[in-house]
Amino acid sequence: NENGEVDAAPESNESEYLSPVTVGGQSLNLDFDTGSADFWMFSSSMPLSQSQGHSTFNASKSSTWSVYKGASWEISYGDGSSASGTVGFDTVDIGGATVTSQAVELATGVSGSFTSDVNNDGLVGLGFSSINTIQPQQQKTFFENIMDDLEQPVFTADLEDNATGSYNFGTIDPSEYTGDIHFTAVDKSNGFWEFASDTYTVGGNKSQCQTCSPAIADTGTSLVLVDDDVAAAYYGQVSSAVYDSSQGGYTYNCTESLPTFGIAIGSDYTATLQGADITFAQIDSQTCFGGIQGNSGGGIQIMGDILLKQFFAVFDGGNETFGVAEK
Ligand SMILES: O=C(Cc1ccccc1)Nn1cnc2ccccc21
């Protein structure tokens, strides 16, 4: 089988987790992203002003590279960032799991937030290829390409708080979690690992959300973005909390102890965050920015790293389910 395991190292402010990937013999640090389906890298064919500080992939130095003639890609993410470029095929090795002809997208242009995030050399999209942006023909993700060669058609994410975690392809390592894995059915029709999430708890009190948008498990998003009424209900229980439009979200006094927050993972499990694990950043001597924020009516709830790093997450491409376990 083709199983593979790689580290997931948290960036300085835990805004993302980076893993070593070898493409055509060249190694780069990429952000594994279950919220998108494009595999792209900074490349030697970018203006230096944009690739400064990054490792770049140089196709002319790969003996296994082949160009996808006439193909292109262009992606924009929910936070407004974007990237675009050209396409080819090469051998991709992630912790020993190898795909010999993976569609690999070379950036010829990226938006400022990618340029300034110097530790991040690109993304490995682990969503579903129905949202891959390659034209004229969408291409499969690394996981879709390797799934049938794995011992089990799964990958797992063990993201850690201020420590290196791991991604595993092909096995569910029992040493990485405790108790049961609570699975729920995934609806892949929007290209995401999407599931129903109709209830939440604040300080242990259960409520039904009014809009109850479906949720996605998104390792590429730092925060937990919930329906706006849910965010308002949570921060309504935090006495110093205000919505600060200049910061783009709810802030509060860092000394305040926060209530727990639970969110339904399907219909029979609630993933609960402790108050101490909810702050995302300190923005000045007294003020903190919450890791739970509203989705501005976006119509999906995004379970990002703030939540995922407190659990062991299983993405099952065989059963099309998503599961979490305590650890
Ligand atoms: O796009 C999103 C979701 C999002 C974030 C912030 C506001 C609204 C929606 N995350 N994401 C998933 N992969 C990403 C890659 C780069 C940037 C953001 C990325």
- Tell me if residue 153 falls in helix, strand or coil: coil
Please state, in angstroms and rounded to a whole number, the distance separating the CA atoms of residues 217 and 321.
11
Please state, in angstroms and rounded to a whole number, the distance separating the CA atoms of residues 302 and 221.
8
Q: Per-residue pLDDT averaged across 278-286, rounded?
A: 97
Q: Which residue has the higher pLDDT, 26 or 268?
A: 26
- Ligand 1 atom with least separation from CA of 33: 13
Ligand 1 centroid distance, CA of 78 (Å): 4
Please state, in angstroms and rounded to a whole number, the distance separating the CA atoms of residues 103 and 92.
9
Kindly write down the DSSP assignment for every residue of 11-35, as one continuous string: PTTSS-EEEEEEETTEEEEEEEETT
- Ligand 1 atom with least separation from CA of 221: 10
The token pair that represents 285 in the structure block: 């001597």
Protein residue with its CA nearest to atom 13 in ligand 1: 220
User: Among 221, 295, 308, which is best to mutate for testing ligand 1, by the most ligand atoms less than 8 A from CB?
Assistant: 221
Binned at pLDDT 50, 70 and 90, residue 100 comes out as very high
Ligand 1 centroid distance, CA of 221 (Å): 5
Would residue 148 show up in a list of annotated catalytic residues for this protein? no
- Burial class from Cβ neighbours inside 10 Å (0-12, 13-18, 19+) for residue 246 reads exposed
- Judge whether residue 280 has pLDDT over 80: yes
3-state secondary structure 168-203: EECCCCHHHCEEEEEEEECEHHHCCCEECCCEEEEC
Mean pLDDT (the chain) is: 97
- Ligand 1 atom with least separation from CA of 35: 12
ipTM: 0.92
Kindly write down the DSSP assignment for every residue of 234-250, as one continuous string: HHTTSTT-EEETTTTEE
Quick check: bond before 174 cis, omega within 30?
Answer: no
Q: Per-residue pLDDT averaged across 270-292, rounded?
A: 98
Please state, in angstroms and rounded to a whole number, the distance separating the CA atoms of residues 258 and 275.
4
- Judge whether residue 1 has pLDDT over 80: no
Protein residue with its CA nearest to atom 9 in ligand 1: 78
Within 8 A by CB and 6+ apart from 23, the residues are: 41, 57, 62, 90, 91, 92, 93, 102, 104
- Ligand 1 atom with least separation from CA of 77: 1
Ligand 1 centroid distance, CA of 173 (Å): 28
Ligand 1 centroid distance, CA of 76 (Å): 9
Selected catalytic residue, list 31, 121, 218, 305: 218
Q: CA 318 → CA 170, 192, 193, distances in Å?
A: 11, 15, 13
The token pair that represents 117 in the structure block: 């995030």
The token pair that represents 296 in the structure block: 């501005």
User: Among 11, 77, 192, which is best to mutate for testing ligand 1, by the most ligand atoms less than 8 A from CB?
Assistant: 77
Kindly write down the DSSP assignment for every residue of 109-139, as one continuous string: EE-HHHHH-TT--EEEE-S-GGG---BSS--
Protein residue with its CA nearest to atom 2 in ligand 1: 78
Q: Per-residue pLDDT averaged across 203-215, rounded?
A: 93
Q: Per-residue pLDDT averaged across 165-174, rounded?
A: 97
- Ligand 1 atom with least separation from CA of 36: 13
Protein residue with its CA nearest to atom 3 in ligand 1: 78
Cβ atoms 20, 9 nearer than 8 A: no
- Percent helix, strand, coil in the chain, to 5, is 15, 45, 40
Give residue-wise pLDDT tens across range 224-258. 999 999 999 999 999 999 999 999 999 999 999 99
Ligand 1 centroid distance, CA of 220 (Å): 6
Cβ atoms 4, 95 nearer than 8 A: yes
- Bridge-based pairing of strands 39-42 and 97-110 is parallel
Ligand 1 site residues, Cβ closer than 6 angstroms: 33, 35-36, 77-79, 81, 218, 220-221, 302
The token pair that represents 122 in the structure block: 């690109």
- Bridge-based pairing of strands 301-303 and 224-226 is antiparallel
Cβ atoms 74, 84 nearer than 8 A: yes
Would residue 33 show up in a list of annotated catalytic residues for this protein? yes
